[in-house]
Amino acid sequence: MSRPTRYERERALDAAMCLFWRKGYHATSLKDLEAALDMKPGSIYAAFASKENLCLLSLERYFEASLSRFRAHMETTASPLSGLADHLRGFARLAPEDQARQVCMLTRTLIDTKATTPTISACTRAYLGAIRDAFAAGFERAKAQGELPQSADSARLARRLQATVSALRFELHLGTDPAEVSALAEDMAREIEALRLTGA
- From the list 82, 78, 62, 53, the residue with the least C-alpha distance to 130 is 62
Given a cut of 50, whether residue 1 has pLDDT beyond it is no
What average pLDDT does range 52-68 have in this prediction?
Answer: 97
pLDDT, tens digit (0-9, with 9 covering 90-100), for 12-42? 999 999 999 999 999 999 999 999 999 998 9
| Residue 33 contacts residue 16 (beta carbons within 8 Å) | yes
**What is the Cα–Cα distance from 131 to 70, expressed in whole angstroms?**
9
Given a cut of 70, whether residue 199 has pLDDT beyond it is no
**What is the Cα–Cα distance from 183 to 149, expressed in whole angstroms?**
28
**What is the Cα–Cα distance from 187 to 5, expressed in whole angstroms?**
47
- From the list 47, 74, 70, 57, the residue with the least C-alpha distance to 119 is 57
Per-residue model confidence (pLDDT) at position 143: 97
Given a cut of 90, whether residue 66 has pLDDT beyond it is yes
Domains in the chain, CATH or no CATH each:
56-193 (1.10.357.10)
In degrees rounded to 5, what are phi and psi of residue 94?
-65, 140
Q: Look up the pTM and report it.
A: 0.93
Element (H, E) at 120: helix 118-144
pLDDT, tens digit (0-9, with 9 covering 90-100), for 81-107? 999 999 999 999 999 899 899 999 999
187: left (phi over 0), alpha (psi -120 to 50) or beta: alpha
